[in-house]
Chains A and B, each alone.
Chain A
Amino acid sequence: MKFDLILRVGTKMILPFILLFAIYVHFHGDYGPGGGFQAGVILAAGIILYAMVFGLDAARRIAPQGLVELLVPTGVAVFAAAGLPGMFKDFRYLDYGVYGHDFLHAHEWGILIVETGVIITVFSTMVAIFYAFADRGRG
């Protein structure tokens, strides 16, 4: 698809909006439908679209394989570590009360951190799976 002008220009036009929409879904997650999982999938879909139109090597330049593989455990680490600070201040594990003075605010922050962990892992896992499949048969 390297020489298909419409696809190439179309992709370049639509890509920023895909990424922006992913961020919108991510930060909107605690008010309405959405959240880290959906946002991560949309974000990864952007990279996958880019790879399909401009080729795997071009995609690897903007999302290097090593970085992607590093992000998989990073997201889990963010999620799991979000529960830790409470344990040092007389809260239980996964109690986000430690992140603010009133209950609701603190928990909103806590959930946002958790969702950030989710978006990182979902995005990187999707892209890593795509890379693994796309690499098959390339020798």
Chain B
Amino acid sequence: MLTSENVTYRYKKNKRTILDSVNYSLEEGCFSAVMGESGSGKSTFLAVMAGILKPLEGTVRYNDVDLYELKDKELSRIHRNSICYVPQSNIMLKNITVLENIVNPYLETASDEDLKEKAVSLLEKLGIGNLAGNYPYELSGGELKRASIVRAALMDPKVIIADEPTTGLDKETGNRILSFLSEYAKAGNSVLVATHDEHIEGYADNILRLERS
């Protein structure tokens, strides 16, 4: 479903090669994890796989389509409908509610009411349905992370790629997020996460370990 072939990435600034010819395949219905020490390139690998960081060499294909050969609008369509990325930091606009933060990016694709209804249902699933009308600054880090995952899952993308979704969270919240993602994968989708969390072993179907070069 989503594969990388000989993906290599090097940061221009320090010339350090982060990824060196990585080959990987994320299959349908699979919950995969990428682990490794800090600086091993987990986040960079996820970004490359998500189509938001062009590798120096190699290709990333989604259903046999090279993401980095697509035109911007075609790639945007894939990001909206098929591959959704959850960044490590919880980025939300401060002056609108959590629900609006989740719904607004997709307003052109569906009705406001439908999106809100679905968003509230997902928020409830993750235990924060009562916080939909709150502003982001009123939420804790764990609650914001869950809201970010709801935002990613709202359009039912075939692939969710989440960068360290449980980092800094208590065990219960972390497990809740991992359960949600695992369930999401089992529903015929795919999930790829980067994590240091050893609990992932209880949820992930496979783990890719990266080493710092």
- Say if A and B assemble together: no
Give B contacts to A, CB under 8 Å: none
Give A contacts to B, CB under 8 Å: none
